[in-house]
Structure 1
Amino acid sequence: MARYHIETYGCTSNRGESRHIEQALRDGGHHPADGPEDADVAILNTCTVVEKTERNMLTRAKELEAETADLIITGCMALAQGDEFREAGVDADVLHWDEVPQAAMNGECPTVTPDTDPVLDGTVGILPIARGCMSNCSYCITKFATGRIDSPPVEDNVRKARALVHAGAKEIRITGQDTGVYGWDTGDRKLPELLDRICDIEGDFRVRVGMANPGGIHGIQEELVDVFARNDKLYNFIHLPVQSGSDDVLEDMRRQHRVDKFVDIVETFDERLDYWTLSTDFIVGFPTETDEDHAMSMALMKEVRPEKINVTRFSKRPGTDAADMKGLGGTLKKERSKEMSSAKMDIVADAYEQMVGSVQEVLVVEEGTGDSVKCRDSAYRQIIVQNASEHGLEPGDFAEVEVTSHQTVYAFATPV
């Protein structure tokens, strides 16, 4: 029997893959070690979204190699840039996610599929509904790891979701490289059907939809927002990364949408939902981004006022077309990032300020710092309840709370 150690970096999809790997190992009779130094095998599930992350992955791989008996590297960087580890002199097996359990078990036991048991992280169930995407963005290296969209049948995903609920999941996080294109490979857009089916499962739980690119959502936004409107189990939250407010930059990025499509989706949700959260992403300093393009991004952000905003400085990823473009200076990217991040904080703080005094039904998702718990309201906004033990609150509980104050990106509340 092997003792294993798993470290996971990156998005929720990566965490879901790690849970699948760990489930297969446990089904095979293997056990987690206290740390890499006590493990027979260490598994590093990597991310490679930006250059800084890539450097961190190489550093951590070298550290783990020295700390453990055997090292397996998987995840996006392993699949897209496996040679980087070899060139850095890291002695490890670089494998696809699906190959990890069998390699870690040395063929001693059959690999049990992750379908046999639900995958849980506390009271949170992570449900990857598909792998891959339908985009060909000029700056993205992850596509080399994940490939084109591969969508399992709706019934398969519903069965997995039901198993998670029966095992005690109170929050199901639907993940994927692009959830909006689920089903495209089979000739149909199936995300609305899947969400309806999952929300029909008996039980008291909530569902969060992971990242969906505007190009995949546009055209089904009316049908999709109807699903949100009629299902209380579904958080009124959508992660819709626009990346730029300039159509010229979006074209150079090879994004499958333009600004008007993004705005159209936002307006559709605004018309149907009184209280919801828009999460979006901006890439600052793309090689062809002019001062005017940056101003357009700033204007768009201030126009739609997302309640959650991720700002990322462009970094060249090896093997991508954008890596061959003449880049902007680091100082200019830093200035633009600083300007956008400052505006972002004002917008997000205003959204949380408007919540003060309101009463919200929340789900306690996880423990916080000290005697506090982290909760999510119906729009997936983070609310902290302090002195949780005094109120008898723990992960998995539902409660009514009154928002008393905020700290820019989250609110504080007390039970009613």
Structure 2
Amino acid sequence: MATYHIETYGCTSNRGESREIERALRDGGHRPVAGPDEADVAILNTCTVVEKTERNMLRRAEELAEETADLIVTGCMALAQGEQFREAGIDAEVLHWDDVPTHVRNGECPTPASDTEPILDGVVGILPIARGCMSNCSYCITKFATGRVDSPPIEENVEKARALVHAGATEIRVTGQDTGVYGWDDGDRKLPELLDRICDIDGEFRVRLGMANPGGIHGIHEELADVFARNEKLYDFIHVPVQSGSDEVLESMRRQHRVDKFREIVETFDDRLDHWTLSTDFIVGYPTETSADHELSMDLLREVRPEKINVTRFSKRPGTDAAEMKGLGGTVKKERSKAMSELKMDVVGEAYETMVGTTREVLVVEEGTGDSVKCRDSAYRQVIVQNATDHGLEPGDFTTVEVTGHNTVYAFGEPV
């Protein structure tokens, strides 16, 4: 688990985005520290309102890059003029707000707060279905905090989901360190049944399944794909972190899968679903990763073309086995991260470009910046509707939109 320092510049909306980032980080077991020199990662949430502000953002980014081990730049300037940070030679990851918490996690399993009670945040219900995992990844410190998987009974989780719906949730996010191993502690694979039961609850809502490691779901991937195909309430979205396209690196990481299992999962969902979103993670610069291993990861990314991709530069976590390995130089990790991030933007941009001109039903999930709202279509792709007040839209509403454009990592929609 990482320590972090976050700085926010600009408007109230930017401050709201920083609060969302901090909430996700704290829910994941990370903790804030007083300054960047004490932090594992510094986060700069930028503004770009005038040219003077842009110069200030570049200067502050340079300072933070010298003061901390890992710098993330997000916010308006990062999204609109991210190339300026790269052209200035600033050693930083330039990310969308939504991608910051996953990057900080460094490939580790998420770690919810110590209790596992559901949380209602606006119209979004957070439902942790279990604690712990069945993995022993060499780079992950989370396992020291959570231990082996501990799964409450299906009925208990269904009742918690029902309570969230009755309290006003229109989106339920099923979470856990590794949702795919739910029930393994009882000798059974219970995730498909749990999802079916949650989708059977009366009410108009959607369900998003949280991270599921390939090794955990491979044995149930066909059954799981069938669950997605028959339940309209279930977003056709699955987060399966592959971490590397090299079997040798996966073995060194002690991941419980190899690339062929990941491919089989993707192919099965391709067969069962017409329009779905694959989300995956890559760790670049792992200590044993060669240039050939990196190219295998790039080839896999080109092949499967996920619609959501998290790219993380490896960093050592104290007490893990990987921390004892001789690491790659910072320049190597930076170059590989840059190459994969550029490919990522091409792949993701292509996915959102194909949406333009289509009509989709979406759920309004939360307020966006200014007078906009963030919506999700059936495959959990993000659609921004501007001038929400004029359209009478607010979180919890379902509406139909025509996709009119995109900005690489999200689309724009106009209510029909």
| Aligned equivalents of 2:290, 2:121: Cα separation in 1 | 43
Shift of the 133–291 alpha-carbon distance from structure 1 to 2, 3 Å rule, reads: same
Equivalent runs, 1:328-343 vs 2, <5 Å: 328-343=328-343
Contact 1:129 1:182 in 2 (8 A): yes
Kindly report which structure 2 residues correspond to 1:142-221, keeping only aligned pairs within 5 A, or say none.
Answer: 142-221=142-221
1:408 to partner: Cα distance: 0.1
User: CA RMSD for the aligned pairs?
Assistant: 2.3
Out of 89, 97, 112, the residue aligned to residue 114 of structure 2 is: 97
Q: Is the 8 A contact 1:9 1:45 kept in 2?
A: no
The residue that corresponds to 2:31 in the other structure is: 46
The SS at the match of 2:303 is helix
Q: Is 1:312 matched with 2:329?
A: no
Deviation of 1:11 after TM superposition, in Å, equals: 8.2
Shift of 1:359: 0.4
Distance 2:200 2:219 in 1: 24
Q: Distance between the aligned counterparts of 2:150 and 2:292, measured in 1? A: 38
CA shift for structure 1 position 56? 5.7
Instruction: Answer yes or no: is the 8 Å Cα contact 1:13–1:128 preserved in 2.
Output: no
CA distance in structure 2 between the aligned counterparts of 1:56 and 1:183, rounded to whole angstroms: 37
Specify every segment of 5 or more residues in structure 2 that has no aligned partner in the other structure, as ranges: 1-18, 44-66, 68-112
Alignment of 1:206-355 (within 5 A): 206-355=206-355
In the alignment, the residues of structure 2 paired with residue 13 and residue 405 of structure 1 have an alpha-carbon distance, to the nearest angstrom, of: 31
Q: Equivalent residue for 2:406?
A: 406
CA distance in 2, matches of 1:262, 1:45: 29
Q: Name the residue aligned to 1:126.
A: 126
Match of 1:386 in 2: 386
- SS in structure 2 at match of 1:218: helix
TM-score of the superposition, structure 1-length normalised? Answer: 0.75
Q: Is the 8 A contact 1:235 1:380 kept in 2?
A: yes
Equivalent-residue separation in structure 2 for 1:197 and 1:285 (angstroms):
41
Specify the alignment match of 1:23 in structure 2. none
* Rounded Cα–Cα distance in structure 2 between residues aligned with 1:380 and 1:142: 27
When residues 45 and 253 of structure 1 are mapped into structure 2, their CA distance, relative to the original with a 3 A threshold, is closer
Deviations 1:181-209 (A, max 9, x none): 00000100110000000000000000000
Letter of the structure 2 residue corresponding to residue 237 of structure 1: F
Larger radius of gyration: 1
TM-fit CA distance, 1:219: 1.3
Deviation at 1:46, TM superposition (A): 3.0
Shift of 1:97: 2.6
SS class of match (1:341): helix
User: Relative to structure 1, is the Cα distance of residues 52 and 301 closer, same or farther in structure 2, using a 3 angstrom cutoff?
Assistant: farther
Asked whether the equivalents of residues 9 and 46 of structure 1 are also in contact (C-alpha less than 8 Å), the reply is no
TM-score by length of 2: 0.75
Q: Distance in 2 between matches of 1:187 and 1:13?
A: 32
2:410 and 2:177 mapped to 1: Cα distance? 26
Secondary structure of residue in 1 paired with 2:219: coil
Q: Distance in 2 between matches of 1:389 and 1:401?
A: 15
Aligned equivalents of 1:200 and 1:376: distance in 2?
Answer: 21
User: Residues 377 and 218 of structure 1: is their aligned pair in 2 closer, same or farther, counting only changes over 3 Å?
Assistant: same
CA contact (8 A) 1:285 1:333 kept: yes
Letter matched to residue 258 of structure 1: R
Q: Matches of 2:340 and 2:302 in 1, distance apart?
A: 10
Q: Distance in 1 between matches of 2:205 and 2:38?
A: 37
Q: How many residues align?
A: 327
**Structure 1 residues not aligned, in runs of 5+:** 1-6, 18-43, 60-95, 99-113
Cross-structure match for 1:107: none
Q: Distance in 1 between matches of 2:412 and 2:181?
A: 36
The alpha-carbon distance between structure 1 residues 366 and 198, as it changes in their structure 2 partners (threshold 3 A), is: same
